[in-house]
Homo-oligomer: A and B are copies of this chain.
Amino acid sequence: MKNNSLKEIAQRLNAAESVLLFPHVNLDGDALGSAAALCKALRKKGKNAWILLEDDIPANLRFMDKGYCTWDFDIIQNPDVCVCVDCGDTGRFEKRADKFGTAKETVCIDHHMTTEFFCDYNYVDAQEAATGQIIFELLKELEADWDCEMGEAIFAAITTDTGDFQYSNTQKKSHLITAELYDLGVDFNKVSVELYENVRMEKILLKNRSMDTMKIIGGGLGAIVYVTQDMLKETGASMDESEGLAQDLRSIAGVEYSAVVKEYEPEKARVSLRAKRRGDVSEIARRLGGGGHTKAAGCTIYAPIDVAVKAVEEELTVAIEELD
């Protein structure tokens, strides 16, 4: 499996008249930012280009859709090129998979490690902090007519996927590209406000409600909270909106392990586990029938929420004892 060059991919896009872009479902800043920047560049070259979606755009990303997104599968019949953006298999856009297959040529641009080279042309680099960084370079190959809006989209892609330049995937290049975007007159703070000051009230209420259940164990080395279906009803939030809680718990001074236990069904709980510096949650998740990475892992426990919380607490307690 070998990458095509971005030059080759730019040539295929230049030769096309119609291009459909396929970011993954559950859109994030990198997927939509990458697709939006590429879509605008292609339109400025006179192409008939659209981003085809199958689900909603999250509220905090909508500022990037300046008429690029469509849910109309017939917007382009038999597109010259279909591009899969920030994902590496049609399972990430299941409802659109058949449409993807109608293209004369397919292209994959991604930075996920698991990505198969399943398209006619592929550029996959797991070292890249964001697909937006690859798009930035592709647009250079395309000799795109850069503007502020494209800069905003690339910045949104990079800043969200690097955790605002704090995650360990952040590269020197992430900063160098962002520095270049300054020359386009991007209002970076405006993008940040769109991305981060757009939190649903229901999510805030759910966070508050679940933080009330916080239990500290192992002399402060572990922290557990839980989320129940009742809390979702009370606050109007969805279970997705409990995302970020495990990270918040881990940010407490002294805490090395954090866990969020989420009641999905009366006898089914999903658990998110995080480790800070010293611990390994993949091992804890494995013991509970799950798996994951050293610092972030998870599992499903088929038991009532209180039983699940107890099971997690016991495993965390053992792991904490092993820390010393």
Contact = CB atoms under 8 A, between A and B. Distances in A.
Interface string A14-39: 00000000000000000000000000
Contact of A59 (B166, B168, B216, B253): B253
A220 B201 CA distance: 9
Contact of A198 (B163, B183, B208, B251): B251
A67 to B, nearest CB: 22
Interface string A248-289: 101111100000000000000000000011000000000000
Interface of A: 59-60, 159, 163-168, 170-173, 175-176, 178-179, 182-183, 187-189, 192-193, 196-201, 204, 208, 211-212, 214, 216, 220, 248, 250-254, 276-277
B166 A192 contact: yes
A250 B168 CA distance: 28
Contacts of A199: 251-253
A253 B200 contact: yes
A165 to B, nearest CB: 5
26 contacts: A59-B253, A60-B253, A164-B165, A166-B189, A167-B192, A168-B188, A171-B182, A172-B179, A173-B179, A175-B176, A175-B178, A175-B182, A176-B179, A193-B276, A193-B277, A197-B250, A197-B252, A197-B253, A197-B276, A199-B251, A200-B252, A201-B252, A201-B254, A204-B248, A208-B208, A208-B211
B166 A201 contact: no
Q: Which 4 pairs show the lowest CB-CB distances between chains A and B?
A: A172-B182, A168-B189, A164-B164, A166-B192
Contacts of A220: 201
B172 A189 contact: no
Number of this chain's copies in the assembly equals: 2
Nearest to A166: B192
A44 to B, nearest CB: 24
B165 A196 contact: no
A166 B229 CA distance: 35
A23 B173 CA distance: 32
A152 to B, nearest CB: 13
A113 to B, nearest CB: 18
A188 B165 CA distance: 9
A208 to B, nearest CB: 5
A252 B172 contact: no
A180 to B, nearest CB: 8
Contacts of A183: 172
Given A166-B189, A201-B220, 9 more contacts: A159-B166, A165-B178, A173-B179, A175-B178, A176-B176, A197-B250, A199-B252, A204-B248, A208-B211
